[in-house]
Structure 1
Amino acid sequence: FPVNYLWQEWVPGNPWKYEFYNGGFVVSDFTNMTGADYKNQCSVYNQSGGHNDANFIVANGYSVANGASVSYDKCAKIYLTDKTGYQVVLSDPDQPVSGEAHYGTFNSVWVCNTTYSYLAMKDGNGIAHALKDDNGWFKVVFVAMDKNCKPTGKTVSYYLANFDASKTKESGLDNEIRTGWNKVDLSGLGDNVCTVAIDFEGSDVGAYGINTPAYVALDDLEIKVNE
């Protein structure tokens, strides 16, 4: 189940070659905990790096409104697929990827804030507001999908920060930003999942979408592929 560096899926003609800036992953071992801007977008807010070793991945991107529906094309996605991997097929909107798909259960994943997101949520950055000033919140949402990248309707949400008293119980956070690596149970996505999109939701929203930098560090994904 490779994490693929796919071409951008959502614009016909594919003007951008790499997906990270519009929904994708990078592998990193950066641990700069003071750089507060986009030039430090690949650092985890954890001095020792990943959960069990130095390396981890950073997911970037979030869903956008598309008429009456929501498009997940700009979300990073993890595909269960054969060893040849998926390739984007821009000419066939009903078949967003080619390659042999597999189904399975996404059991769990370890999650940590990135430095860029953490410091933006803590102090603001001229675009994003400090969440404590607005009783704000921010969370990552894992979205189960089938082989055609269509949502199954099952999601798992995990709060990365919360300063809203009405969300203290559901978030498990009381006026705080989450620190360190934390294990997230993904069994709520179901046992017949082909693709998982990593989406974000937050209270700090402007004319162009979420102001909070839409990044999260992930490590030690545990899955079981169906026979």
Structure 2
Amino acid sequence: MIPRIVAAAALLASLPALAVTVTFEDLTPSTAYAGGGAYENGSALAGSFTSGPLTLTNNYNSSWGSWSGWAFSTTTDITTPGYDNQFSAFAGSGAAGSATYAIAYNDSTIAIPSGYQIASLNLTNTTYAALSMRDGDAFAKQFGGTSGDDPDLFQVVFTGYLSGSSIGTVTFDLANYTFSDPSLDYLVADWMEVDLSSLAAADEISITFTSTDVGAWGINTPTYLAVDNIVLNAVPEPSILLLGALAPVALLRRRR
């Protein structure tokens, strides 16, 4: 009997997990943007929003009109520079031409719901960050400098945590101007898929940024990221696996 149980449990454990994609298309932002579309950045003071099984948090300061954490947006302005256009993805839409996507600002986190594991997500630059790096502004330098030879780099870092302890990181270059041949320098303007399966055991993913453009107050590059299509794998509970393993044994007993 025991070998049958072990074999059945091993088979069930090896089955591919059911993937759930968080697309944000079930959300409707209500704050209109002058350049078209709308966004939601926590000004309603709810403190979070939920799409599918995922809840993302934000903080809004009504005294200053400032926010951090997560927002969601349908704005599509890829030409207007500056802070007023902080909610637009530089790709001009959500991933694969969809309408709605999320914006992560400053240090943000993804709390992984119980019963799920992170698999991947799509990302791109925001228009605010991209134009700041491409052209420079009053607060941040033009990447590459006036000569185009400055070795500038802007990265997003995903760190997985399990019960508060780091289990690994995944780093992605949002702009890379470090090549000896400046013609190879690039600034991400399309939606890119990032594999986060190495962090699957994490119960929380933190999102932080690094940049070569740093001043007295920290990173000068606008620390924004557009995110869409977060893929979570649903993991069967151990009790479900055990029931599945015992089912063939019960059936065998009935036949005898």
After TM superposition, the score normalised by the length of structure 1 is 0.71
Q: In the aligned structure 2, how far is the partner of 1:2 from the partner of 1:211? A: 30
What residue in structure 2 maps to residue 183 of structure 1?
Answer: 193
Give the SS at the match of 2:205.
Answer: strand
Alignment pair present for 1:4 and 2:48? no
Aligned to 2:80: 35
Q: Matched residues in 2 for 1:44 and 1:177: separation?
A: 13
Larger radius of gyration: 2
Map residues 132-143 of structure 1 onto 2, 5 A cutoff.
132-133=144-145, 134-143=150-159
- Give 1 or 2: higher helix fraction: 2
Report the counterpart of residue 30 of structure 2 in structure 1. none
1:216 aligns with 225
Q: Which of 74, 79, 95 is matched with 1:51 structurally?
A: 95
Q: Counterparts of 1:67-82 in structure 2 under 5 Å? A: 75-81=107-113
Within 5 Å, give how 1:1-227 maps onto structure 2. Answer: 1-7=53-59, 16=61, 23-47=68-92, 49-52=93-96, 53-61=98-106, 75-81=107-113, 102=114, 104-133=116-145, 134-147=150-163, 150-165=164-179, 174-189=184-199, 191-226=200-235, 227=237
Structure 1 residue matching 2:131: 3-state secondary structure:
helix
Letter in 1 for 2:160: A
Deviations 1:139-160 (A, max 9, x none): 111110124xx24240100001
Identity %: 31
8 A Cα contact 1:110 1:182, kept in partner: yes
Corresponding residue for residue 99 of structure 1 = none
Question: What amino acid sits opposite 2:197 in the alignment?
Answer: S
Q: Which runs of 5+ in 2 are unaligned?
A: 1-52, 238-256
Q: For residues 181 and 7 of structure 1, do their structure 2 counterparts lie closer, same or farther at Cα, with a shift above 3 Å needed? A: closer
Unpaired runs of 5+ in structure 1?
Answer: 9-15, 62-74, 82-101
- Aligned residue for 1:45, secondary structure, equals coil
Q: What CA distance in whole angstroms lies between the structure 1 residues aligned with 2:157 and 2:66?
A: 18
By how many angstroms is 1:26 displaced? 0.5
TM-fit CA distance, 1:4? 2.6
Q: Is the 8 A contact 2:112 2:118 kept in 1?
A: no
SS at match of 2:134: helix
Let me know the Cα RMSD of the aligned residues: 2.4
Give how far 1:3 is off: 2.8
User: 1:96-130: per-residue Cα shift (whole Å, max 9, x none)?
Assistant: xxxxxx26431111111100000001011121111
Q: TM-score, normalised by structure 2?
A: 0.63
Aligned to 1:67: none
Cα gap change, 1:23 to 1:225, in 2 (>3 Å): farther
Contact map agreement 2:58 2:68 (CA 8 A) in 1? no
Give the aligned length: 177
Counterpart contact for 2:108–2:206, Cα < 8 Å: yes
Q: SS where residue 139 of structure 1 aligns?
A: strand
